[in-house]
Amino acid sequence: MNKKLLTLLFFLGSFFLHSQGLVWKTTMTDAVAASMEQKRPLFIFFTIAGAPTKLQNEIFNTPDFVVWARDNVVLVKLDLSDTTISDAEKEQNVSLKSALGVVELPQACLTIATVRKTKTTFNLLGRLPYKPISAKSWIAEANIMMNPE
């Protein structure tokens, strides 16, 4: 009986961690403000409806990524096919995608945003496309981009 209860609690706990772990910003204004306040780089995930989901399923939906993201970056998800955002915001997101050199979707970028005289500039640290590697290896590549030494 105790083993069954412990097993059930383990699975419920991991499900709870999995579902509660990630908070994605969806507007650059909010994301830049959070990034500057927390002194963390932006992790911008560019996607579109119908894009392959391997990046989300094999990397983002792992406990390793949840813990890493919570401790190291401000998550931003920019869905370029989102019909609920304004045309100006869509144009801004597409311009940012181009400025960061994102060609294939989905793809993530690490960048540092700075604001001077109401103008935001982005310093690209690196692009992180999907690779068929473990989440830990993918995170290690992100860490190298954030801390090039």
Write the pLDDT tens digit of every residue in 94-135: 999 999 999 999 999 999 999 888 889 999 999 998 888 899
Q: What is the pLDDT of residue 5?
A: 45
Q: How many CB atoms lie within 10 A of CB 84?
A: 7
Domains and CATH numbers, the chain: 22-146 (3.40.30.10)
Q: What is the pTM of this model?
A: 0.83
CA-to-CA distance for 12 and 18, rounded, in angstroms? 10
Nearest residue to 79 (alpha-carbon basis) of 6, 13, 27, 11: 27
Which tokens is 12 given?
């419920």
Q: What is the pLDDT of residue 21?
A: 78
Residues of the chain scoring pLDDT < 70? 1-20, 149
